[in-house]
Amino acid sequence: MYKEREERGQAEPGANSERPKNMSRFQVKKVAVLGAGVMGAQIAAHLVNVRVPVVLFDLPAKEGAKNGIVAKAIEGLKKLKPSPLGVPEDAVLIGQANYEEHLEQLRDCDLIIEAIAERMDWKLDLYKKIAPFIAPHAIVASNTSGLSITRLSEALPEAIKPRFCGIHFFNPPRYMYLVELINTPTTGAHVLDDLETFVTSGLGKGVVRAKDTPNFIANRVGIAGMLATMKEVERFALTYDVVDDLTGKKLGRASSGTFRTADVVGLDTMAHVVKTLQDNLNTQTDPFYESFGTPEVLKTLLEMGNLGQKAKAGFYKKAGRDVLRFDLASREYVPGGAKADEVYGRMLKKPAGERLKLLRESEGPQGQFLWSILRNSFHYAAVQLASIADTARDVDFAMRWGFGMKQGPFELWQEAGWLQVANWIREDIASGKALSTAPLPDWVFKGPVAEAGGVHTTEGSWNPTAKKFEPRRVLPVYLRQHFPETVPGSKAPGFETAGKTLHESGAIRLWTLDADQDGPSGGQVVIASIKTKMHAISPEVAEGLQLAVEIAEKDYQGVVIWSGDDPFSAGADLQAMLPAFMAVGVSAIDEAEHFLQQTMLRLRYAGVPVVSAIRGMALGGGCEIAVHSARRVVAMESYIGLVEVGVGLVPGAGGLTYIARRAAESQAASVHKDILPFLTEGFTAAAMAKVGTSALESRKLGYLLDSDTIVPNKDELLFVALNEAKAMFTAGYRPPHKRQFAVAGRNGKATIQGQLVNMRDGGFISQHDFHIAGLIADVVCGGDVDTGTLVTEEYLMTLERQAFCSLLTHPKTQERIMGMLSTGKPVRN
Ligand code: NAD
């Protein structure tokens, strides 16, 4: 397949992956971001997260230090939630500059991202000012959400025009996967390829190329959808709380639904995007134009200054613990929280075809409303596809990645039955139920799409302009994604069945990529994919991991633990342990824990490198697997920690042993004689159940080492981990020596205990927290021994197990476990 993909790259017309031969590879050594507002400052933060040097510009401050505006924006980044920075202290890495003193600094920037206020004249003035300082190879890209990229480019000097394009990030840029790239008639052929390569691999984003039309793809379809939803809300006289319940998770969309999402985005921002549609489109260019009027409720809320979350009032307002909803008729906030009829929740769980049929035929307003908004979204996407995007896949990806939808409009339509749904839409248009009388394009009913039963096929996705199915763009960077996100009809092999299976149970699959899929030396590393819910670690998973090592030691170069999607693992499977505990008592658990500990040691001392490929949560037992691996390859968005205290337990599968060992190793490598300072950080992390909020923070907590690799793009994780394992093997990998190491002993424990007493007496921790933290201190200090006593990992693991089992019979721990199992939330007792 690897070969095949390469060949496809050459054969495909229009794939501009080749740079002119006389040009060297485009490398982004430094980026300038112009504009330290909401977007610019956060984009700069994300560049720091992925280790790209960045300088952030804004206007010179009128008073005080000239960099005042930028400095204030960078300070603001530290307080923003969700945090734009992996670790807040990295804010100092953002270079500060202003247009009066520092334009010279632009000369060594390879990429300049403009993100100043949304005014054509201001942007053009700025381009004029910076033009003389732009390096001859640098790409200049605007983050505008609504202005025409082509019109912006027209005022540029000829020399810069070929290197100018649009780069549309979504807010918040660290977390939103989508970046839309837009070219102009004068953008050089390789510029978007170069930028796509950097944005994908370097920034970890999903790129969609959009045509230069108002609001591009995601905001065009998304905001038209929101306006259409508001119209249907009025028509069916529904309240915002019920609509949000219907249009959130149940519908496979962002859990905040329609109106709470608007509140979070900000109603002024939304009104701005709506205005862009109103100002730049008309009934000719968009047959849905009539429905783009600003809804009465939005006008009213804007007049009242109720701009959403930032103004503490919008469609919703909090009053103590209650959430009130806005009532347009009375202009008052009234009690909210109403839910949708349960019958629709059940309908929405049915297979797509049946679901849409039930909704369309339902009598109640809520069902009719749901069918109407889905029909509107299909209708709009089909009518506008040719003008806004190259292919239907681009629209689906844009809606998934930019609006948090599980499926884009075309995917759902196709899954539900292409022609059936098309006929329903046609009937609704004829009977005046649709928002526009514009007919569906001919390609919907006739020709290749109708014959294939949809827009996504194994050949590719429908491009209505080229009138053919087009595969995904082939760029070398995509060879780094073994299992990229796909659209259903493409029938790309999923990781669940790909490659060669070596062993499979309900809990785990051990397999290898096909030799040719993984490059010339492929198929040589065992991949262990956990299959349990939340990738929880059951005894069967542990057995599978041991088997993976055994198989790899015989015939392969290493093991990569990679389970396809989030999370890496939410921890040990408490539920699976419960029956044994009930039937046999604590001794059954002692045995199970012992087996888990043995598994961790097996991973650590395997004769081949074991690499954990982590994305999302690696909690409790997941974290313990990670720290016992020879190396970790980690997606930027990884949240790692030992959280057992939350369920009234201590880490019992080697987590505390790791903390003690790491402290001893750090002390041995330093000039300090005292081990305690090295232990404090690990102890505190475990005792307070701290979880890193990014890979960078997880590293600060000690769960990742400097030698581990952080990967910006989640879809490159497997590729990098396999290469890491192969490189380690090739370099002559041998497991670490089994060494004894020094512990802090009873004196160390006494010191920690003293601090814990203060915390308990000060009311910071409960008596049970105090008890658990005391047990953790006991284990990480090595129990009742002298300071400096040498111990083995097995010895510490025995202490760990004893602490774990003693807690299991404690009523307060049992209360925590039962609480977690029944509500999923930690019990504080
Ligand atoms: P913002 O108002 O938060 O920040 C704009 C920045 O531009 C400010 O720091 C201001 O000092 C600077 N500025 C104002 N006038 C200027 C001038 N004449 N010359 C140079 N700098 C000037 O805006 P924002 O929300 O960060 O938006 C910036 C750009 O990003 C806009 O083009 C916007 O359309 C686009 N965008 C915004 C979002 C969003 O959700 N906010 C999302 C995607 C794209």
pLDDT at 6: 39
CA–CA gap between residue 578 and residue 463 (Å, rounded)? 54
| CB-CB neighbours of 24 under 10 Å | 7
User: What distance lies between CA 225 and its chain's CA centroid?
Assistant: 24
User: Does residue 270 line the site of ligand 1, with CB under 6 A?
Assistant: no
pLDDT at 21: 59
CA of 41 to the centre of ligand 1 (A): 10
Nearest CA to ligand 1 atom 19: 122
Summarize the confidence of residues 376-390 as an average pLDDT: 98
CA of 233 to the centre of ligand 1 (A): 32
pLDDT at 213: 96
pLDDT at 19: 57
CA of 207 to the centre of ligand 1 (A): 22
The string of pLDDT tens digits covering residues 485-505 is: 999 888 888 999 999 999 999
The string of pLDDT tens digits covering residues 615-632 is: 999 999 999 999 999 999
Type of residue numbered 462: W
Q: Which of 651, 607, 610, 654 is nearest to 632 (CA)?
A: 610
Summarize the confidence of residues 573-588 as an average pLDDT: 82
The percent of residues in the chain predicted with pLDDT above 70, rounded, is 97
Summarize the confidence of residues 398-410 as an average pLDDT: 96
User: Does residue 58 line the site of ligand 1, with CB under 6 A?
Assistant: yes
Query: 521 pLDDT band (50/70/90 cuts)?
Result: low
Q: Work out the mean pLDDT of the chain and round it to a whole number.
A: 93
Strand arrangement, sheet containing 500-504: 500-504, 508-512, 525-530, 558-561, 610-619, 631-641, 709-711
- Say if CB 760 and CB 770 are below 8 A apart: yes
CA of 103 to the centre of ligand 1 (A): 19
The string of pLDDT tens digits covering residues 305-364 is: 999 998 999 999 999 989 999 999 999 999 999 999 999 999 999 999 999 999 999 999
Nearest CA to ligand 1 atom 29: 115
User: Does residue 33 line the site of ligand 1, with CB under 6 A?
Assistant: no
Which atom, in ligand 1's list, is nearest to the CA of 119? 32
pLDDT at 536 over 60: yes
CA of 35 to the centre of ligand 1 (A): 6
User: What distance lies between CA 308 and its chain's CA centroid?
Assistant: 25
User: Does residue 117 line the site of ligand 1, with CB under 6 A?
Assistant: yes
Which atom, in ligand 1's list, is nearest to the CA of 142? 32
User: Does residue 116 line the site of ligand 1, with CB under 6 A?
Assistant: yes
* Residue of 145, 167, 169 to test ligand 1 pocket, by largest number of atoms within 8 Å of CB: 145
pLDDT at 435: 95
The string of pLDDT tens digits covering residues 219-244 is: 999 999 999 999 999 999 999 999 99
* Residue of 46, 56, 116, 219 to test ligand 1 pocket, by largest number of atoms within 8 Å of CB: 116
| Six token digits for residue 516 | 């040719």
Summarize the confidence of residues 407-435 as an average pLDDT: 97
Which atom, in ligand 1's list, is nearest to the CA of 99? 20
| CB-CB neighbours of 250 under 10 Å | 18
The string of pLDDT tens digits covering residues 145-195 is: 989 999 999 989 999 999 999 999 999 999 999 999 999 999 998 999 999
pLDDT at 1: 40
User: Does residue 36 line the site of ligand 1, with CB under 6 A?
Assistant: yes
pLDDT at 11 over 50: no
- Say if CB 344 and CB 246 are below 8 A apart: yes
User: Does residue 35 line the site of ligand 1, with CB under 6 A?
Assistant: yes
User: Does residue 40 line the site of ligand 1, with CB under 6 A?
Assistant: yes
User: Does residue 764 line the site of ligand 1, with CB under 6 A?
Assistant: no
Which residues are within 8 A (CB) of 750 and not within 5 positions of it... i.e. 6 or more apart? none
Q: What is the chain's alpha carbon radius of gyration, rounded to the nearest angstrom?
A: 29
CA of 272 to the centre of ligand 1 (A): 13
User: Does residue 709 line the site of ligand 1, with CB under 6 A?
Assistant: no
pLDDT at 17: 42
CA of 174 to the centre of ligand 1 (A): 17
User: Does residue 143 line the site of ligand 1, with CB under 6 A?
Assistant: yes
Which atom, in ligand 1's list, is nearest to the CA of 73? 9
Query: 10 pLDDT band (50/70/90 cuts)?
Result: very low
Summarize the confidence of residues 759-782 as an average pLDDT: 95
Which of 506-520, 571-585, 654-668, 752-766 has the lowest average pLDDT?
A: 571-585
pLDDT at 2 over 60: no
pLDDT at 13: 33
Which atom, in ligand 1's list, is nearest to the CA of 40? 26
User: Does residue 294 line the site of ligand 1, with CB under 6 A?
Assistant: no
pLDDT at 47 over 60: yes
Task: Find the angle CA(136)-CA(141)-CA(146) to the nearest 5 degrees.
Answer: 150
Query: 9 pLDDT band (50/70/90 cuts)?
Result: very low
pLDDT at 582: 79
H or E segment at 109?
Answer: none
pLDDT at 176: 96
- Phi then psi for 15, rounded to 5 degrees? -85, 105
Which residues are within 8 A (CB) of 584 and not within 5 positions of it... i.e. 6 or more apart? none
CA–CA gap between residue 791 and residue 97 (Å, rounded)? 54
CA of 73 to the centre of ligand 1 (A): 12
CA of 132 to the centre of ligand 1 (A): 23
User: Does residue 464 line the site of ligand 1, with CB under 6 A?
Assistant: no
Summarize the confidence of residues 206-214 as an average pLDDT: 97
User: Does residue 571 line the site of ligand 1, with CB under 6 A?
Assistant: no
The percent of residues in the chain predicted with pLDDT above 90, rounded, is 88
User: Does residue 298 line the site of ligand 1, with CB under 6 A?
Assistant: no
Query: 22 pLDDT band (50/70/90 cuts)?
Result: low
pLDDT at 155: 84
Which atom, in ligand 1's list, is nearest to the CA of 114? 29
User: Does residue 118 line the site of ligand 1, with CB under 6 A?
Assistant: yes
Nearest CA to ligand 1 atom 7: 116
pLDDT at 349: 96
How far is CA 90 from each of CA 142, 438, 459, 588, rounded to the nearest angstrom?
25, 52, 45, 47
Nearest CA to ligand 1 atom 39: 171
CA of 157 to the centre of ligand 1 (A): 23
pLDDT at 23: 62
pLDDT at 829: 87
CA of 144 to the centre of ligand 1 (A): 8
CA of 324 to the centre of ligand 1 (A): 32
CA end-to-end span of the chain: 55
Peptide bond into 132 cis (omega under 30): no
* Residue of 34, 39, 272 to test ligand 1 pocket, by largest number of atoms within 8 Å of CB: 39
CA of 126 to the centre of ligand 1 (A): 13
pLDDT at 827 over 90: no
